[in-house]
Copies of this chain bind each other. A is one copy, B any other.
Amino acid sequence: MGEVSIPIGKLARSVGCKVQTIRYYEQIGLLPPPTRTAGAQRRYGEGHRQKLSFIRHARELGFPLPAVRELLALSDETDSDCAKADRIARRQLEAVNRRIAMLSSLRSELERMLRHRHGHRIRDCRVIATLADHTLCSQDHHAELAES
């Protein structure tokens, strides 16, 4: 257990996030508090680095923090059934699929808006006309912009 005593800046660089992000994760109870020096500076061990890396990876895959929290807890119960982890991942996959579907219909609408001759005036502009009257839209993009 030669705990390696990593200062926060080095830890941040090693996982590719901001120093404040690490302090924020500690504040919301996602990352356990590290030891402190006599002058109250944080010193992390290898376990912290792994947990933080796990968190950042899950965030990069778009999992919201509550899901990350669950996955992190599960990752410690190595004997449990993984059905729960799989369910969380599947839910995230569905959310990603919904967002892709949404964005695809937005894309085709934007492309349709832009498919017109240029150099004309606003009164004939299809971009402005479409925004002013959504019956000019072909697809039904009209739904909530569900965030991942």
Contacts and interface: CB of A to CB of B under 8 A. Distances in A.
B79 A123 contact: yes
B71 A89 contact: no
Interface string A99-139: 11001101101110110001111111101101110100000
Contacts of A99: 99, 103
A61 B57 CA distance: 29
A128 B75 contact: yes
Interface string A72-105: 0011011111110110111011001101100110
Contacts of A80: 121-122
A1 interface: no
Contacts of A124: 82
